[in-house]
Every structure is written in C-alpha cells, then in structure tokens.
C-alpha cells in the first residue's frame, strides 16, 4: 500500500511545487505597470467608442464595430504580452537576427504591390476582412532587441561599446529607418532616432559619439529640408505647426481643430459620449492619432491629466526595471522600450496641444489600431520578462 501511495504523493508534491512557482512568478510581476496599462486600455476603449459610434450610426453601420475590433486587438495584444512575459528574454537574444530580418522583410513588402497607402503614407499591407498590418510597428521591437544584442555584449576591460559595436548598430538600424523613410513615415523614423540615442547613452557610449550623432541628425534634417526630400504634405504639417493660421482650411486645419476640441473640455469635460467636436467629426482620425482630443473634450483637464499620469507611471516602472535588470542586455531592452513609449506619447499628446508637429503616431495603449496595439503589448511583455528576472526583489 505504501509503495503505491508514494509515487502518487510524489506527483502531488511536484504539482504543488509547480503551482507555488507559478504563484511566485505572478507575485513578482510588476502589477503597478500592468494595472496602469489596464486602466489606459479601458479608457482607450471608451474613447474609441465615443469617437466612432455616432459616425457609424449616421452611415447606417454597426455603431460598435470599431469597439469590437479594438477589443479583439486588445485580447490578441494581451496574449502576446503573456507569451513574451513567460519567455526568458535572454533566450530572445539567439533569435534576434531572425526577428530583425523578418521586420526588414515586412518593410520591403510594403514597397511592393502588396503595400497600400493610407493618409498619404505607404505603410500598410491589407490582409482582408477589414484588417491591415503596419510592419513599421513591429520594426520597433526588432530595433530594440537588435541594439540590445549589439550594445549589450560583454566586453573585456571596456566600460562602454567600442567603435565597431556602435558603427554596426548604426548601420543596421539605418536599414529599417531608410525603408520607413521611403514610405514615407517621418514619425516612426523619429521614434527610431529616440530609441538609438537613448540606448547608446545607457550602454555607456562616449559623449563624443552622442554629440556627433545629435549634430549629424541636425545636419541631415537640414539637408532633407533644403533639398526638398520631404513630401509636400509633410512640409505643410511643419509649416502649420509653426503657424496653424497660415492655412486654417488646409494643412493647419487638424492642428486648429485639435486645440479647439481639447480647450473646449475645460476642467471636467463635457461628459463621456457628449463631445460636440467629437460628435461633429471636426477632428480627423480621432480614434487613432487624435484620440487625446476626445479625452480633452469629454473628460477635460482631469481626464487628460489622468492619461498623462498613467503613462508616466508606466515609464517610471520601465526605468526602474532597467535599473534592476540582471544584465546589460535586459537593461538595454527595457531602456529601448521606455524611449520608444516616452517619445511616442510626448509626440502624440504634444501634436494635439500644438507644441509638436503633426505625425501619424498613435497614443500607446489608448489609440485604436491593431499593429500598434500588438507591438505595444509585446514591448510590455519584454518589460515584464526583464522585471521577472531582475537581480533585486521588493
């Protein structure tokens, strides 16, 4: 009898130990970050519905169709986040070349007949059923892990990356950046620049490299402008940013209407689903690029400030994860994600307030969009994976 119960008891002990390990892993997750993302996602879903349901009703369509797709995107994004959280981020290093190559192939496919133009940017691949993919969003993930692999390699007697490492990182990062500029997608290119500078700074690159990159970037920007390499609509956007009144019915229309919508909300807002600017569809793309205008009008300063605070909490926890990472690779992965989300959040909110030029960058975890949602949640999963395997525990 004892001989029979002992194996069963051993199985039960192993099951208990397995469940204890899983429970311990759940406790070690950064729940402050996860709850902040959850709150932003709930707010985003409400704002997406507010931005789209009246227009869909007027068109005789299902008023919840955008919301349903957004919730589906969130569900897929959460699944991707869970997958990358469970994976040991250090094992990702072995697959970085494959991930980067796939990202570049996706960007190349956009430039073929498979690509499609949306809002002046040839950045999409239509896959049918009302769904489309934007490979440049996934290229952000590829860029972060690639730079972390190159700049995070152990070095004998060196404080930071050597010249060869930096040149290799810049050359490889330039490949997807060039492909994205051909679309053209200036906003994503600027995100790339922010990620590269941030990761180089944290990796310990010498100051002369940082100064040279900043100077070279400014010179390149001047050349692009001087030689007319930008598309006319991009030039118009910068012109409207400098003076929205120069073309109020053309290039300056978006910026002007965005400010009106945000300013009309006052302190407490007009109430969710009761925005006049939102309901009148005066602001274009208000479920994606200009979703902060919906928050500003309907939830007011308090609602807008809440979104900013929640984004700030995510960035703070991301920096904390970077500082506690078990190795330099983990530190750089977390740093790259934080730079990506920080710049994109600042640019998106800034363009609705008139302090940044208008680009096609969505607000992380808030805006409608499949590819952006998936990429953001993959980035969140990478942050959680680094946090789980940090060297210090609370």
pLDDT in tens, 212-265: 778 877 777 667 666 665 666 666 666 666 666 665 655 567 778 888 888 888
Long-range interactions of 160-164: CB distance < 8 A, separation 24+: 160/203, 160/204, 160/205, 160/206, 161/200, 161/203, 161/204, 161/205
Q: If residue 359 lies in a helix (H) or strand (E), which one and from where to where? A: none
In degrees to the nearest 10, what's the CA dihedral of 380, 381, 387, 390?
-140
What mean pLDDT do residues 308-321 have? 96
Q: Which of 260, 389, 259 shows the shortest CA–CA distance to 326?
A: 389
Q: Extract the tokens encoding 349.
A: 């909110």
Flag whether pLDDT at 2 surpasses 50. no
Burial 238-269 (b: 16+ CB within 10 A, else e): ebbbeebeeeeeebbbbbbbbbbbbebbeeeb
Alpha helical stretches, state H, the chain: 2-28, 31-58, 65-86, 89-92, 96-110, 135-151, 163-181, 186-203, 207-226, 232-242, 253-264, 276-279, 291-298, 300-324, 328-353, 370-388
**The model's pTM:** 0.89
The total of other beta-carbon atoms located within 10 Å of residue 335's CB is 28
- pLDDT tens per residue, range 13-24: 666 666 666 666
What mean pLDDT do residues 173-188 have? 88
List the domain boundaries for the chain: 30-388
Q: What Rg, from alpha-carbon coordinates, does the chain have?
A: 23
96-110 and 135-151 helices, crossing angle to 10°: 150
Q: What count of residues does the chain have?
A: 394
Residue 290's pLDDT band, with cuts at 50, 70 and 90, is very high
DSSP state of 266: T
- For residue 91, the Cα-to-chain-centroid distance in whole angstroms is 23
What mean pLDDT do residues 21-34 have? 81
Residue with tokens 């707010």: 43
Out of 196-200, 216-220, 360-364, pick the least confident: 216-220
């Amino acid at each position: 009898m004892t001989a029979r119960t002992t194996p069963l008891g051993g199985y039960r002990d192993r099951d208990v130990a397995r469940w204890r390990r899983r429970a311990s892993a759940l406790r070690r997750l950064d729940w402050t970050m996860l709850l902040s993302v959850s709150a932003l996602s709930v707010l985003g879903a409400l704002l997406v519905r507010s931005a789209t349901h009246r227009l869909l009703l007027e068109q005789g369509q299902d008023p919840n169709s955008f919301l349903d797709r957004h919730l589906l995107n969130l569900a897929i994004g959460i699944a991707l986040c869970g997958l990358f959280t469970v994976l040991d981020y250090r094992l990702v290093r072995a697959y970085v070349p494959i991930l980067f190559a796939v990202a570049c192939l996706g960007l190349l496919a956009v430039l073929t007949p498979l690509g499609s133009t949306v809002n002046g940017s040839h950045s999409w691949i239509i896959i049918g059923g009302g769904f489309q993919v934007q490979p440049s969003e996934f290229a952000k993930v590829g860029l972060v892990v690639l730079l972390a692999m190159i700049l995070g390699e152990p070095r004998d007697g060196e404080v930071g990356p050597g010249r060869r490492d930096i040149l290799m990182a810049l050359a490889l990062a330039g490949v997807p950046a060039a492909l994205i500029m051909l679309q053209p997608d200036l906003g994503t290119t600027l995100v790339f620049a922010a990620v590269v500078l941030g990761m180089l700074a944290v990796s310990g690159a010498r100051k002369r490299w940082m100064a040279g990159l900043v100077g070279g970037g400014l010179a390149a920007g001047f050349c692009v402008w001087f030689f007319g390499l930008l598309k006319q609509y991009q030039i118009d956007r910068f012109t409207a940013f400098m003076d929205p009144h120069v073309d109020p019915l053309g290039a300056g229309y978006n910026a002007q209407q965005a400010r009106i919508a945000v300013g009309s909300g006052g302190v407490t807002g007009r109430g969710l689903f009761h925005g006049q600017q939102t309901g009148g569809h005066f602001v274009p793309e208000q479920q994606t690029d200009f979703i902060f205008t919906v928050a500003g009008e309907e939830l007011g300063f308090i609602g807008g400030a809440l979104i900013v605070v929640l984004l700030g909490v995510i960035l703070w926890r991301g920096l904390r994860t970077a500082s506690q990472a078990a190795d330099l690779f983990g530190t750089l992965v977390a740093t790259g994600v934080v730079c990506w989300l920080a710049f994109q959040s600042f640019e998106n909110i800034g363009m609705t307030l008139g302090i940044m030029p208008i680009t096609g960058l969505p607000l992380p975890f808030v805006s409608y969009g499949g590819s952006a949602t998936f990429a953001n949640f993959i980035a969140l999963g990478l942050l959680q994976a680094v946090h789980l395997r940090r060297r210090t525990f609370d």
